Amino acid sequence: MALKYCQSHKCHTYDTKDRKRGSKSNRVNQTRRRSEFYYGGGNFCSMNCYNDWASDFMDRAIDQVSGRIVEPITLTEENAWQKRYRYNWREGGGYDMGYFWYNSVSERTIDITKEEFDTQSQPRL
């Protein structure tokens, strides 16, 4: 199990027992290190650390990585397809899985196989 560090540049500034390292005379606080984190896509040890990072770097991440949204993005019939599944309950017990494409604009459905569910990225129209 690989350990990773919290990605906040301020993690070490929080004064908690688990961040302390060294003996009494030369004690320091360190960035937290864990096998798993649960904030910010698994990159931050706490909501505080995530917020510290976001307030200093989020604008740059949006402008330079994802691109800033400056006009609304629209959901249309063409880009509204989602893969879904349902339990088809059998009379007398048990069920089969049903797989289908669902268009949240037109509400049209297209039944597909499990293999198509696993492999298709767009419905075959």
Taking the C-alpha atoms of residue 40 and residue 81, their distance in angstroms, rounded to an integer, is 27
* Residue 49 binds Zn ion, judged by CB under 5 A: yes
Question: Of 38 and 85, which CB lies nearer to Zn ion in the complex structure?
Answer: 38
| C-alpha separations of 85 from 18, 27, 99, 116 in Å | 44, 55, 4, 12
Half-sphere exposure of 69 (CA within 13 A, CB side): 4
* Residue 11 binds Zn ion, judged by CB under 5 A: yes
Question: Of 33 and 84, which CB lies nearer to Zn ion in the complex structure?
Answer: 33
* Residue 8 binds Zn ion, judged by CB under 5 A: yes
Q: Of the ranges 1-9, 54-62, 67-75, 115-123, which one interacts with Zn ion (CB under 5 A)? A: 1-9
Taking the C-alpha atoms of residue 96 and residue 49, their distance in angstroms, rounded to an integer, is 45
Q: Of the ranges 44-52, 78-86, 88-96, 117-125, which one interacts with Zn ion (CB under 5 A)? A: 44-52
Binds Zn ion (CB under 5 A): choice among 39, 45, 53, 101? 45
Taking the C-alpha atoms of residue 83 and residue 67, their distance in angstroms, rounded to an integer, is 26
Question: Of 49 and 112, which CB lies nearer to Zn ion in the complex structure?
Answer: 49
Token pair of 94 as six digits = 């048990």
Footprint on this chain of Zn ion (rule: CB under 5 A): 6, 8, 11, 32, 45, 49
